[in-house]
Amino acid sequence: MRGALTVAALGGTAILAWASPVGDVAWLAAAVLLTCALVSELRPVHFLREGVFLSLSLPFLSGLLFTGGPLVALIGEVIVLFAATLLRPGQRKVYWLGLNLPIVMLSSAAGGILWWALGGHWALRMGAFVAAYLVSNVFLVRWMNHLLGAQRFGSQALDGARSTALCFGAYLLVALGVGVSLRGNALWIVPLLIIPLELLRWIISSHKRMEDHAYETMVALTIMLQRAHPYTHGHLDRVGRLAEEVGRRLGLSPTRALLLRKAAVLHDIGKIAIDEEILDKPAKLTEAEYEHVKQHSEFGAHILSQSERFREIVPWIRHHHERLDGKGYPLNLHDQDIPLESKVIAVSDAFDAMAGSEVRSYRDPMTPDQAISELERCSGTQFDRRVVDAFIAAIRGGS
Amino acid sequence: MSLGAVVVLGAVLVCSGLMLWIALRILPRRQADQQLSLLKVFGSAVELRCPGREGLTDRVATLCIAIGKDMGLPKRDLRQLEHAARLRDIGLCAIPWKLINERDSNDWTPAERATFAKHTEVSAAMLELVPTLRGLAPIIRQHHGALNQEMPIASRIIAVAEAYVERTSQQGHLVARTYLGEEKGCTFDPSVVEACLRVLPSDRGPVR
């Protein structure tokens, strides 16, 4: 796959070189732009959990379009990538370059070809360049991460439509500013445009800090739950992954599916306040003990409702033990009143409790097939048939 | 320069102003709100497990901040102090439920007391697993320890505030004040006790 990417990158570059060879280069402007781009490149926002850097150098690099055409912009990209990789602390520089060089070349080639092919006002073509570059870059990075098996879980700082729009708007505006100053022979304005980019970086990184903090709160909560009631680590994580996959199959947006995953990881958080001896009891529970255990979904909702951050998932957690036929708890809701997300959590949780790899003291684990037929038997009364179908598809398709 | 150029550069300028305003005014406030509300999540989890402690976390945190302000701690340290005060008890989740909920703490055997006393260490160990909260672990680990040179100021403040609030809820604030006076210099840092006694009248209302 990496080979295919490299070939595509070289091909794109060749097409661009054929279509729009380098003309006269304005060296001074190019040097200023490259310096500015390098400065921005060296101050990226790290998204450690996704293993992604966000660097804000593109507006300056797109300015290179005016100093000698799209091929110069592509070469500038490559130079900046090399320089930044050498100057940045960190290991595995060759690996990093091998990963990013084709991505950068392909993205600039895509933007450059669009710039060359489009007619009309320069601002329009520049916008097209920036858009094509960003879209192909984001797509390729995602794809690469997917191929490398990197987990994408947690931060949504880059996923929300609003923040993407904000980023793109600011990028485009600064790029236009660069274009205007270059065309108006006001080269001194270009370095000043680092200021708005730096502000954007500030906003994104403090946004990211908030996301990180929320994520780590979630982690700390699950650690607390595991101390109170030692699940094997895997259960919460597996339920989370299953729920996300089922959510996607049921047509939830990726952002919402990710939220569902978080909710599924936290769904039993109320068990912090339940007597662990009863939860682990091998025998059948007495009436009073069962009443005590049943409180956990309400407790979980109460705990999470303290923070605005969890507002959306609170009802999902409160109702994850409701049943379609109204015999569930805490509110005996019926089918149409139960949130879809709660139904997904219920099915994933039940499946993993039946077929999970941990050995619970009170019964032998089932095989996945036995667990699936048990889910099918209970669908319509306990579980939603649509959710069960999606779940079975996810299990069969996933493994 | 043409009109278009002026418009573009003007827009860049306006946008920068807008972003500066967001970065300086809106985000810090939202960040503080979110942090506080997330900390309350832990408080409510602990209080649900240990119903006897309802409201204690809030009161200890409030008193800690009042003492810290009185002692002139910088804002950054105050925030860390509040976080530590609110997270110090999360280790209670590892103490057997029956011990906390179905037994009077006066009847505990020495072994059970020792189990309970471990919760501070458990809190610290749990926080060490979480990168952004790792810095709080030493503060929490030491706040029940003996007074010594290395004890961080935040631990000293939490020790005093916790002792005062717990005694007050059991035996009333007069006993609690006397207790602080007696232990001043032995268990508690004298300057912290003095600051605590100075701020106490305002402890009834919200301090912040």
Q: Given a cut of 60, is residue B204 above it in pLDDT? A: no
Domain ranges of chain B: 34-203
Domain at B34-203: CATH architecture = Orthogonal Bundle (1.10)
Task: With beta carbons less than 8 A apart as the criterion, state whether A88 and A42 touch.
Answer: yes
- Minimal-distance CA residue of chain B relative to A176: B8
- Residue B57 structure tokens: 């976390």
Task: With beta carbons less than 8 A apart as the criterion, state whether A214 and B34 touch.
Answer: yes
Q: What is the DSSP letter of A53?
A: E
Q: Which residues contact A288 (CB under 8 A, 6 or more apart)?
A: none
H or E element, residue A275: none
ipTM field:
0.83
- A241 and A355 assigned to the same domain: yes
Q: Given a cut of 90, is residue A21 above it in pLDDT? A: no
- A102 and A248 assigned to the same domain: no
- A266 and A390 assigned to the same domain: yes
Q: How far does the CA of residue B149 sit from the closest CA of chain A (Å)?
A: 31
Hey, which residues 64-103 in chain B have their CB within 8 Å of chain A?
90-91, 93-94, 96-98, 101
Using the beta-carbon criterion (under 8 Å), do B5 and A183 form an inter-chain contact?
yes
| Residue of A255, A24, A236 lying closest to A152 (CA atoms) | A255
Region for B172 from its dihedrals, namely left if φ exceeds 0, alpha if ψ lies in -120 to 50, beta otherwise: left
Q: pLDDT band at A161, cuts 50/70/90? A: low
- A243 and A195 assigned to the same domain: no
Using the beta-carbon criterion (under 8 Å), do B23 and A276 form an inter-chain contact?
no
**Which of A307, A313, A314 is most worth mutating to test chain B (most B CB atoms within 10 A of its CB)?**
A307
| Residue of B48, B85, B87 lying closest to A301 (CA atoms) | B48
Using the beta-carbon criterion (under 8 Å), do A177 and B9 form an inter-chain contact?
yes
Task: With beta carbons less than 8 A apart as the criterion, state whether B52 and B107 touch.
Answer: no
pLDDT score for B105 = 78
Q: Given a cut of 90, is residue B70 above it in pLDDT? A: yes
- For B99-128, the pLDDT digits (tens) are 888 888 788 888 888 888 889 999 999 889
- A252 and A390 assigned to the same domain: yes
- A10 and A152 assigned to the same domain: yes
Mean predicted confidence (pLDDT) in B135-146: 87
* Domains of chain A: total: 2
Q: pLDDT band at A150, cuts 50/70/90? A: low
Q: Given a cut of 90, is residue A317 above it in pLDDT? A: yes
Using the beta-carbon criterion (under 8 Å), do A227 and B2 form an inter-chain contact?
no
Is A216 part of any domain? no
Is A220 part of any domain? no
**Which of A49, A126, A168, A199 is most worth mutating to test chain B (most B CB atoms within 10 A of its CB)?**
A199
Task: With beta carbons less than 8 A apart as the criterion, state whether A293 and A278 touch.
Answer: yes
CATH number, residue A234: 1.10.3210.10
Is A337 part of any domain? yes
Is A394 part of any domain? yes
Is A214 part of any domain? no
Q: Given a cut of 70, is residue A360 above it in pLDDT? A: no
- A153 and A257 assigned to the same domain: no
Neighbouring-strand partners of residue A52:
A47
Domain around A257: 229-398
- A195 and A247 assigned to the same domain: no
Is A213 part of any domain? no
pLDDT score for A364 = 66
Which of A177, A220, A308 is nearest residue B12 as measured by Cβ atoms? Answer: A177
Which one of A137, A171, A204 terminates a domain?
A204
Least trusted range by pLDDT, from A80-94, A112-126, A361-375, B22-36: A361-375
Q: How far apart are CA A254 and CA B82, in angstroms?
A: 36
C-alpha distances out from residue A386 to A56, A249, A347, A393, Å: 44, 10, 11, 11
Percent of chain B with pLDDT over 90: 29
SS (HEC) of A314-366: HHHHHCCCCCCCCCCCCCCCCHHHCCHHHHHHHHHHHHHHHHCCCCCCCCCCC
Using the beta-carbon criterion (under 8 Å), do B129 and A219 form an inter-chain contact?
yes
- For A256-268, the pLDDT digits (tens) are 888 999 999 999 9
Q: pLDDT band at A316, cuts 50/70/90? A: very high
Using the beta-carbon criterion (under 8 Å), do B41 and A307 form an inter-chain contact?
yes
- For A262-291, the pLDDT digits (tens) are 999 999 999 999 988 888 877 788 899 999
Hey, which residues 16-55 in chain B have their CB within 8 Å of chain A?
16, 19-20, 22-23, 27-28, 30-31, 33-35, 37-38, 40-45, 48-49
